[in-house]
């Protein structure tokens, strides 16, 4: 039996579809109502949680395997796990975005940057050796420049349509994001074969067979 925590919503659907395509019985998941924990006939025990909580469950050894976006992993202070697979789905990227004038404007003060991902924003500007003030917003981060709270934002960009609708544009791409399969360090030692069965089902077809 392997215990798995999956980020609720889109990642849950993507991963379950990938497993179904490899012959796993995913019907109990697709047919679930509001249950938070489900066992499949392939010996997978799955829980569905918010992305940050997937890391917490994994860290405490409650689950063996987690499926989570790399955005959540980058923002978390915890990284004591194996990050075995990049599933190459749920792809988007972190970007610095602002009104076009941002590029040419001279600031005679610290820039103000709004973000839900304060750690990512801080590391990005640290890599540029630039000192900025970071303001945490919990959602609709585009409001930052729109209402004049911040000069720019650091946020996840998928299509860019929200940015465009508000007159903002990507100033610079920071890093790519995708869904990852992570594994508890101790679990892997005790359940190598079971976990590799899952890895082999999920890794890309064209990948080198090591």
Binding residues vs another protein (CB under 8 A)? 56, 59-61, 77-79, 81-86, 88, 183-186, 188-190, 192, 196, 199, 203-204, 207-208, 210
Which residue, 22 or 185, is less far from another protein as judged by CB? 185
Strand order, beta sheet including 132-136: 132-136, 111-115, 152-157, 92-98, 169-177
3 state SS of 83: strand
Cβ proximity to another protein: between 147 and 210 the closer is 210
Q: Which 8-state DSSP code applies to residue 204?
A: -
Residue with Cβ nearer another protein (164 or 185): 185
Q: In angstroms, rounded to a whole number, what is the distance separating the alpha carbons of residues 163 and 139?
A: 14
Nearest residue (CB) to another protein, 112 versus 203: 203
Cα–Cα distances (Å) from 53 to 83, 168, 183, in that order, read: 16, 32, 14
Instruction: Please report, for the chain, how many H helices and E strands are present, in that order.
Output: 9, 11
CB of 81 to another protein, least distance (A): 7
- Supply the minimum distance, in Å, between the C-beta of residue 183 and another protein: 8
CB of 142 to another protein, least distance (A): 30
Q: State the minimum distance, in angstroms, from the CB of residue 41 to another protein.
A: 23
For the CB of residue 209, give the shortest distance to another protein in the complex, in Å: 9
Q: What angle do CA 79, 82, 45 make, to 5 degrees?
A: 105
In the bound state with another protein, the residue whose beta carbon lies nearer, of 25 and 88, is 88
Nearer to another protein, 86 or 169 (CB): 86
Shortest Å, Cβ 200 to another protein = 10
CA dist list (Å): 91 to 71, 99, 143: 10, 24, 24
Q: Is 179 helix (H, G, I), strand (E, B) or coil?
A: strand
């Amino acid at each position: 039996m392997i215990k798995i925590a999956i980020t609720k919503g889109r990642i849950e659907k993507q991963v379950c579809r990938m497993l179904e395509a490899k012959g796993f019985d995913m019907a109990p998941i697709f047919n679930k109502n509001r249950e938070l924990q489900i066992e499949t006939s392939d010996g997978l025990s799955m829980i569905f949680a918010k992305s940050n909580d997937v890391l917490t469950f994994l860290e405490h050894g409650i689950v063996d395997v987690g499926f989570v976006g790399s955005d959540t992993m980058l923002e978390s202070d915890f990284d004591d796990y194996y990050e075995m697979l990049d599933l190459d789905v749920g792809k988007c990227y972190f970007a610095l975005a602002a009104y076009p004038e941002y590029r040419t404007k001279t600031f005679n003060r610290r820039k103000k940057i709004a973000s839900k991902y304060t750690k990512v924003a801080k590391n990005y500007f640290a890599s540029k050796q630039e000192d900025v003030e970071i303001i945490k917003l919990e959602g609709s981060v585009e409001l930052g420049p729109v209402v004049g709270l911040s000069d720019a934002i650091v946020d996840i960009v998928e299509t860019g349509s929200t940015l465009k609708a508000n007159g903002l544009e990507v100033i610079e791409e920071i890093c790519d994001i995708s869904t990852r399969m992570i594994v508890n360090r101790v679990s892997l030692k005790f359940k190598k074969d079971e976990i590799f069965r899952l890895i082999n089902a999920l890794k890309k077809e064209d990948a080198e067979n090591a």
